[in-house]
Chain A
């Protein structure tokens, strides 16, 4: 351990890693369930601002009473592509109204009353209400009133164990570099999923929690679905809402109307996602020499439309939908782009698919239990690992507004489980040898002799994760090539160097991102079919005989071990036709 650094130890009954929306919701629920328990959150950021919930969205999906089963069937057949845990999806569908009620009781204001919520889908009963972007400030205030303690500007690197049981976590203070140790009876991981940093607005989750849980023995599931893609303007790198409907290639041909994809892919895509499938279409055009791809601005009818103004703040929202913070957020970004971005005001704006990620594979059961004693999860980190949504990156899982709802719902469940566990077990201290070893690992790259800066490594990772040929439209040879590059980076990790605690946190983000990338490509190679969002050029059809299975990943003495787990389809209500 470097000289001059101190160690600070906190004791708490329940530790929540991350105080984004899932973390705060879990902490609040735990404290409400058992006020006598000490509940502590820890995050790299500050309460009220950390996490994704205030980064521009604020759409909250719910299923109106009576529509739950129709939703489960539609989602299973059209979005989950039968890879979803239908029981978990039903729990979600049956709980959204109850969740809204509890969430509201924490002082959160919903902009549209439930009875006047917008219909979000032409076929199924699926409604959207809105929160403003100060939602986290509202929840933070309530958490403080309840007596929840929050440790800010601290990154958690690893989980502490006694035998198989998780009994705390270790990390360091981003400002001082001091070691921070938490001793806890139960830990809830709510520190987000893996976004590859290409679209930075999504980058609160960089795989730290996934990797820490994996190293502590937790399983992963559905890692191959971590390639959520948005269309962005190449000049501003900002999402181009509505562009998917008016894309033209360099020869002036409208490619949006080309029924999205090649005939053989259309059956497997089945309406899973417009942005994702559109990105493959864009790739095919460019591959065939017809790129680049442009948005024909005058044909984009979304900005200024009812949905554009009121849900996406592209234009000024009408009074019933007006959200002061969201409006400010988007007006500011749009005004900057308009005033400062070269080439903003042109009739054809080059648009590219940008790989966001949303890889969220931490395996949990219906109680949000990871299978490692003492370890639970909530929110984005386990959104694919719970398998509620199936063969799509999630959230949003192609359900606009399900990210926030899923985060709050799973937090409520995780808190209940963790409280019950914490009430039943006695204190155990982490093993001192383990603390020493983890501390060594944690500081290994600080002022070492390495020559690679974390920013350079991040750029290299992004150049592997972004090309649609690797992550969006997959093929054996290309996947092998990408995996080879990832393994090459893995070999370079000891040469990363950090000059201060902030950079050390970035080093760990690199280490964890490389681990997640390896999971993504290994799982993508193992799934030799196309299903939902996972599109293989060499296996263009869904193969229910061999792949109605989850790909499960586990650490086996430092090696990534993959296995297949049957989806219990015979037990489920909806089966492939």
Chain B
């Protein structure tokens, strides 16, 4: 599964990453005032959270080993 890493030193709590996350993967932790990657199974790795962040405080680590369904013949290859 993809993971999200937040650099708390750099994060200013502007919530832009949360707003940009159209799959509702990122939730806002109001207590700590930081984003959390809660529903990572739905991450579309569009990287919008990264490119919108004015401080490069958030990173999506893509899991390239995630499975892909049988491309051609059901249950094969």
Interface residues of A (CB under 8 A from B): 44-46, 48-51, 54-56, 153, 174-175, 198, 200-201, 203-204, 234-237, 282-283, 286-287, 291-292, 325, 328-329, 332-333, 336, 340-342, 352-354, 455, 459, 462-470, 481-482, 502, 505-506
Contacts and interface: CB of A to CB of B under 8 A. Distances in A.
Could you say which of A46, A174, A470, A482 has the most chain B C-beta atoms within 10 Å of its C-beta? Answer: A46
Nearest to B50: A332
A128 B72 CA distance: 33
Contacts of A354: 68, 71
Interface residues of B, number: 34
B64 A283 contact: no
B64 A342 contact: yes
B7 to A, nearest CB: 16
9 contacts: A49-B48, A198-B69, A200-B43, A287-B73, A329-B48, A342-B64, A352-B68, A354-B68, A459-B69
A468 B69 CA distance: 11
Contacts of B23: 45, 200, 203
Contacts of A470: 74
Contact of A174 (B24, B43, B47): B24
B42 A506 contact: yes
B45 to A, nearest CB: 7
B68 A287 contact: no
Given A466-B69, A467-B69, A467-B70, A49 B64 contact: no
A464 B46 CA distance: 25
A329 B47 contact: yes
Contacts of A459: 67, 69
Contacts of B67: 459
Contact of A54 (B38, B44, B48, B75): B48
Interface of chain B, helix or strand or loop or mixed? Answer: loop
B34 interface: no
B64 A463 contact: no
Contact of B71 (A200, A353, A481): A353
B72 A502 contact: no
Nearest to A201: B44
A234 B68 contact: yes
Contacts of B74: 463-464, 467, 469-470, 481-482
Contacts, number: 116
Contact of B64 (A55, A235, A462, A464): A235
A283 to B, nearest CB: 5
Interface of B: 19-24, 27, 38-39, 41-48, 50-52, 61-62, 64, 66-75, 77
B70 A332 contact: no
Contact of A46 (B19, B44, B71): B19
Contacts of A286: 71-73, 77
A283 B72 contact: yes
A379 to B, nearest CB: 15
B51 A328 contact: yes
A275 B39 CA distance: 32
Given A200-B44, A354-B68, 18 more contacts: A49-B48, A50-B22, A153-B24, A198-B68, A201-B45, A282-B72, A286-B77, A287-B72, A329-B51, A340-B62, A352-B68, A465-B69, A466-B69, A466-B70, A468-B72, A469-B74, A481-B74, A506-B42
Quick one: which of A354, A470, A502 has the most chain B CB within 10 A? A502
Nearest to A458: B41
B20 A46 contact: yes
B64 A469 contact: no
A174 B24 CA distance: 8
B73 A469 contact: yes
A234 B70 CA distance: 11
Nearest to B61: A340
Nearest to A46: B19
